[in-house]
Amino acid sequence: MDYNQLFEQIKRKKSFLCVGLDTDITKIPSFLLTEDDPIFEFNKRIIDSTIQYAVAYKPNIAFYEAHGVSGWKSLEKTLNYLNLVYEDAFVIADAKRGDIGNTSKMYARAFYEALRCDAITVAPYMGKDSVVPFLEFKNKWVILLALTSNESAKDFQLLNIKDSESNLFETVLEKSKEWGNKDNLMYVVGATQAEHLKEIRKQVPDNFLLIPGVGAQGGSLKEVAENGMNDYCGLLVNSARAIIYADSSADFDRNAGKKAQEMQLKMAELLKAKGII
Amino acid sequence: MDYNQLFEQIKRKKSFLCVGLDTDITKIPSFLLTEDDPIFEFNKRIIDSTIQYAVAYKPNIAFYEAHGVSGWKSLEKTLNYLNLVYEDAFVIADAKRGDIGNTSKMYARAFYEALRCDAITVAPYMGKDSVVPFLEFKNKWVILLALTSNESAKDFQLLNIKDSESNLFETVLEKSKEWGNKDNLMYVVGATQAEHLKEIRKQVPDNFLLIPGVGAQGGSLKEVAENGMNDYCGLLVNSARAIIYADSSADFDRNAGKKAQEMQLKMAELLKAKGII
C-alpha cells in the first residue's frame, strides 16, 4: 500500500486507528479455547468486528513466537485472512527487527513476502546497513523506532549527543531521512511522549508516525493529534488491550467493535478539526 | 548453563568456538534438497561434525523465520537435537529482540522455555525495562548488542554522549552493568572492532563477549584474543559461513569439521598462551 492509498483509507473510514493484535492465550475468552486455533479464531472475530473503524492491524510477533510452530501458524492464518478478506487493511508486523545486511534482508523477505505485511517495525541501533535492506521493497514500509512509549526510553533515546543540538532519537530521525522518505519510512513515537511530538513533527513533517501507548499505557489521543497530525493525517494510533480485551463474554467481539468505534468517532472529530474530512 | 559450566566446557574442548547456524537453503549442498527437512538435515550434520571443536551454536533466527512455519519447525528440530544429543552445548538464539516489558517477557519465554536456548541476543535501544525481563531466568543469558561488526555500527554506536567521556556503546555497557552481571549478561562486540576491544575489556572485565565477524567479515582471531581474553577466557568467537559453507560436496560436513578443527587448534594455542589450559 502506498502513501496516497493509506491516506484514502483514512479519509474513507474517518479513522487512523490501528488495532494491536497482541493476542495472549491467557487473556482471550475461555470459551474460545475449545477451537482448533483459538488465537486465530479470536483475531478473526476481532478483525471482523473492528474493520469498519480501523485502517491498520498490528500483530505483535512476540505473542505468536511464544507458541513456536503453532503460534507461527496462527500468525500466518491471521495475515492470510487479512490479505484475502480485507485487502485494504494496512498490516504492520511489530517485530522490532534489525541485523547485519544479509540478515535484515532475510527478515524483510519473511515479513513482506512470505507473510505479505505492508510494514515492519525496525530497531535503529545497528545503523544504516541494518535498515536499508527493508527499504528496498516497493510499496513496503519500515517503521523505525524513534522515541518509544516505555519508561526506559530515556535510558538511551534521550541522551544528548556531543557537538550537536540533538539527542539520540533526534539523530536517528535526522540520519534516517537520508535512507528513506515519506513513501517508505514511518517512525514509532510513543503517545506517552506528547511533549516531544511537536518537535518531531517539525523534524519529519511528512512521514507517518505510528503511535503506541494510547489507552492502557496512558497517552492521550487529543494531545497526540494536536501535536502530531499533518495535512495527510500522518498518524496511525495503535490501541491493543483497551480494544481487544474490552470484554471476555461471548460478545467480546461486539464490545471490541464498540471500543474501536468510540476511538474512531473521536478520530473523526480530530480529522474534521484539521479539515481533512 | 552457568558461568563456571561454560568455562569448564571451554577448558575441556580447548575451544571458544561458536558455530553460526545461518542456514540458507540456497547455499546448502543441493543433494540435501530431497530430504524432508533439508535445513534440519544440514544443521544436524554440521553439528555432528563440529561438536568436538565447538562449545556453542548460534542459529540466526532470521534464516528460519524467512521460511515461516516450516522454517520454525526446522529451528525447533535443530534446538531439540542439540538439547537431547549434546546437552553440553551452549545455545544462542541470535534474535536481536527487545520490546516493552510484557513483550520482552513473551520473547524470553519463547526462546528460553519453548526453545530451551541458553542465551538470546538483545538490542538495547529501548533501555532497561526492555532488557530486564530477559535477565530474570535462572542460568539463562542476555547477550546485549554493544559494538556490532557491521560498517554502519558507527552511525549511532560511536556517537559521543554530551557531558560524559563515553560514546553510545560505552554508555550501554555502563548502564547495563546495573541491570545484570557476569552470570547473566554477555555483550556482542564485532571482531572487526579490535581497536575497541581492549577498552571494552577494561570496562567489563568479567563478562563474556560474543564476537562475530571473524572470517568472512574480516576480523582476526589473534587480535581478538590478545585484546579481549580474560582469565576465564571470556570470549565466544562465532564463525558461520567460513565453516558451514566450507564445501558443498557430499563431504560438506567432514570439511566443515576440518574448518572448525583448524579454528579450535588456533584457539587452543591462544588459551595456552594465556595459561588457561
Q: How confident is the model at residue B218 (pLDDT cuts 50, 70, 90)?
A: low
Does residue B244 register a pLDDT over 90? Answer: yes
Measured in residues, chain B has a length of 277
ipTM over 0.90: yes
Tell me whether residue A62 is in a domain: yes
Q: What is the spatial distance between Cα A223 and Cα A227, in angstroms, rounded to a whole number?
A: 6
Measured in residues, chain A has a length of 277
Does residue B118 register a pLDDT over 70? Answer: yes
Cross-strand pairs, A219: A214
For residue B268, what are the domain limits?
Answer: 3-273
Q: What is the spatial distance between Cα B141 and Cα B17, in angstroms, rounded to a whole number?
A: 17
Query: How far does Cα B109 stand from its chain's mean position?
Result: 19
Please state the rounded mean pLDDT for residues A73-84: 97
Q: What would the pLDDT profile of A116-132 be if each residue is shown by its tens digit?
A: 999 999 999 999 999 99
Q: What is the spatial distance between Cα A135 and Cα A249, in angstroms, rounded to a whole number?
A: 42
Taken in order B134, B129, A93, A62, the sign of the CA dihedral is positive
Q: How confident is the model at residue B213 (pLDDT cuts 50, 70, 90)?
A: confident
Across the interface, do A66 and B99 touch by the CB < 8 Å criterion?
no
Does residue A133 register a pLDDT over 70? Answer: yes
- H/E element holding A6? helix A3-13
Tell me whether residue A156 is in a domain: no
Contact residues on chain B for A145, CB-CB shorter than 8 A: 125-126
Please state the rounded mean pLDDT for residues A167-195: 95
Q: What is the spatial distance between Cα A12 and Cα A95, in angstroms, rounded to a whole number?
A: 28
For position B194, what pLDDT does the model report?
Answer: 79
Q: How confident is the model at residue A99 (pLDDT cuts 50, 70, 90)?
A: very high
Which residue out of A11, A96, A266, A274 is catalytically annotated?
Answer: A96
For position A139, what pLDDT does the model report?
Answer: 96
Closest C-alpha to A119, from A17, A69, A206, A187: A187
What is the DSSP secondary-structure string of A64-82?
Answer: HHTTHHHHHHHHHHHHHHH
Rg (CA), chain A: 18
Tell me whether residue A66 is in a domain: yes
Q: Are B177 and B202 in contact (CB under 8 A)?
A: no
Interface check A122 vs B, CB under 8 A: no
For position A205, what pLDDT does the model report?
Answer: 98
Q: Which of B79, B97, B99 to mutate to test binding with chain A, by most A CBs within 10 Å of its CB? A: B99
CB atoms within 10 A of CB A249: 11
Residue A138 grid cell: 516497493
Whichever domain contains B247, its CATH number is: 3.20.20.70
Question: Rounded to the nearest 5°, which phi and psi values hold at B154?
Answer: -70, -20
Tell me whether residue A48 is in a domain: yes
> String of b and e for A63-75 (b: at least 16 CB within 10 Å)?
bbbbbbbebbbbb
Q: How does the average pLDDT of chain B come out, rounded?
A: 96
pLDDT-above-70 percentage for chain B: 99
Tell me whether residue A170 is in a domain: no
Model confidence, pTM: 0.97
Q: What would the pLDDT profile of A192-238 be if each residue is shown by its tens digit?
A: 887 899 999 999 999 999 999 887 666 789 999 999 999 999 999 99
Contact residues on chain B for A130, CB-CB shorter than 8 A: 150, 152
Tell me whether residue A17 is in a domain: yes
Q: What is the spatial distance between Cα B182 and Cα B251, in angstroms, rounded to a whole number?
A: 40
Tell me whether residue A167 is in a domain: no
Q: How far is A147 from chain B (nearest CA, A)?
A: 8
CB atoms within 10 A of CB B269: 15
Taken in order B124, B127, B130, B136, the sign of the CA dihedral is positive
Structural domains in chain B (count): 1
Does residue B220 register a pLDDT over 80? Answer: yes
Q: Are A118 and A1 in contact (CB under 8 A)?
A: yes
> Measured between CB atoms, which of A109, A161, A172 is closest to B160?
A161
Which residue out of B11, B73, B96, B105 is catalytically annotated?
Answer: B96
Tell me whether residue A65 is in a domain: yes
